[in-house]
């Protein structure tokens, strides 16, 4: 009986001794334990957590960017509709811009752009709605940064040559043929401002237009289809910021030999906004929207015979 009690006492003494020793060791090594929890353990946790957290952060930024773009486009549409713009034209122009804003196109006929031309002025898009009367504001300038929209009067080509029907107040037919005197349709990139003129008594500066679609508008540069001022053209501008925004109208209209003509008092400011920065770069997207494009519907992105440089 005494032996049993002895072993029990010895057993409890051993447990007490080692428990006390362990506590003393743990207390003396608390600093190391804290450092392990703070540094080494956190590193191990980060190895597991970081791959999950980073994509979530990127997705959040991407989601915010997508949401902002949607809000900007909504404002742009609202302002465009205030000025009686055709929503099909806007949908097509934005689709082309989003799809091709990084593409390099052939600059047909332009020796200074042998390497091609891109949409490098990405603040503005111009929609020249040639389905509308030339007696009303119909050339829409979209500011992608502010969402503001302006529309102004524009003249189209008279036509009547090279088998092309003659146009009047409304553009009846469009052509890529040199000497047709008709306006070409479709998508363009603006060129640089030219401060000389073949007709200095009528206008002293202009802006080149580079057609991006084969057999549709790619002869524009060679034909000298440009944007320029013309004295008889009205200078009024309709703006989405107007107190009562809407279409402005005129009693008169003018006709060109295929060029886009605008009011002389506003031409310099308009061209300076839309132009390319120099003779080697590309400017902004410009769209001559006609009944042919309208018939293709809102999902049309200008994929017709595009001259994308390879």
pLDDT given at position 66: 86
pTM reported for the whole predicted model:
0.80
Domain ranges of the chain: 2-62, 83-295
Rg (CA), the chain: 34
141 - beta bridge partners?
A: 126, 150
Most distant CA pair in the chain: distance in Å?
A: 132
Structure tokens at 241: 């910021």
Provide the edge-to-edge strand list for the sheet that holds 206-211. Answer: 237-239, 149-152, 139-143, 124-129, 285-289, 186-194, 206-211, 226-229, 260-262
pLDDT given at position 60: 73
Which residues, other chains included, contact 309 with Cβ-Cβ below 8 Å and sequence gap of 6+?
104, 105, 106, 115, 116
Contact 256, 158 (CB under 8 A): yes
Contact 233, 264 (CB under 8 A): yes
Structure tokens at 10: 């010895």
Give the residue from 136, 215, 233 showing the smallest Cα distance to 177. Answer: 215
pLDDT given at position 293: 98
pLDDT given at position 48: 40
Among left, alpha and beta (phi > 0; psi -120 to 50; other), residue 52 is alpha
Report how far residue 175's alpha carbon sits from residue 154's, in angstroms, rounded to the nearest whole number: 17
Low-confidence ranges of the chain (pLDDT < 70): 1-59
Give CA 216 to chain center in angstroms. 23
Length of the chain: 310
pLDDT given at position 37: 43
Query: Which H/E stretch holds residue 263?
Result: none
β pairing state of 206-211 and 149-152: unpaired
* Mean residue pLDDT across the chain: 86
Q: What is the pLDDT of residues 161-220, one digit of tens each?
A: 988 989 999 999 999 999 999 999 999 999 999 999 888 888 999 999 999 999 999 999
Topology of domain 83-295, CATH = L,D-transpeptidase catalytic domain-like (2.40.440)
pLDDT given at position 69: 87
């Amino acid at each position: 009986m005494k032996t049993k009690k002895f072993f029990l006492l010895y057993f409890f003494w051993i447990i007490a001794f080692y428990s006390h020793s362990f506590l003393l060791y743990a207390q003396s090594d608390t600093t190391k334990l804290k450092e392990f929890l703070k540094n080494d353990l956190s590193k191990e946790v980060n190895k597991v957590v970081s791959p999950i957290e980073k994509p979530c952060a990127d997705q959040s930024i991407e989601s915010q960017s997508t949401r902002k773009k949607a809000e900007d486009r909504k404002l742009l549409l609202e302002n465009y509709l205030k000025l009686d713009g055709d929503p099909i034209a806007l949908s097509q122009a934005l689709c082309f811009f989003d799809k091709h804003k990084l593409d390099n196109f052939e600059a047909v006929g332009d020796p200074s752009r042998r390497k091609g031309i891109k949409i490098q002025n990405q603040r503005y898009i111009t929609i020249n709605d040639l389905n509308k009367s030339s007696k009303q504001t119909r050339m829409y300038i979209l500011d992608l940064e502010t969402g503001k929209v302006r529309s102004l009067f524009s003249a189209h080509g008279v036509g009547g040559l090279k088998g092309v029907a003659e146009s009047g107040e409304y553009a009846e037919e469009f052509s890529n043929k040199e000497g047709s005197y008709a306006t070409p349709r479709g998508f363009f990139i603006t060129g640089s401002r030219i401060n000389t003129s073949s007709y200095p008594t009528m206008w002293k500066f202009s802006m080149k237009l580079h057609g991006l679609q084969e057999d549709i508008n790619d002869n524009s540069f060679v034909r000298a289809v440009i944007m320029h001022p013309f004295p008889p053209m009205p200078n009024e501008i309709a703006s989405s910021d107007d107190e009562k925004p809407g279409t402005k109208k005129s009693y008169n209209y003018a006709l060109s030999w295929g060029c886009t003509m605008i009011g002389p008092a506003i031409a310099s400011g308009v061209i300076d906004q839309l132009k390319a920065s120099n003779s080697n770069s590309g400017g902004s997207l410009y769209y001559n929207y006609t009944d042919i494009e309208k018939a293709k519907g809102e999902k049309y992105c200008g994929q017709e015979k595009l001259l994308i440089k390879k």
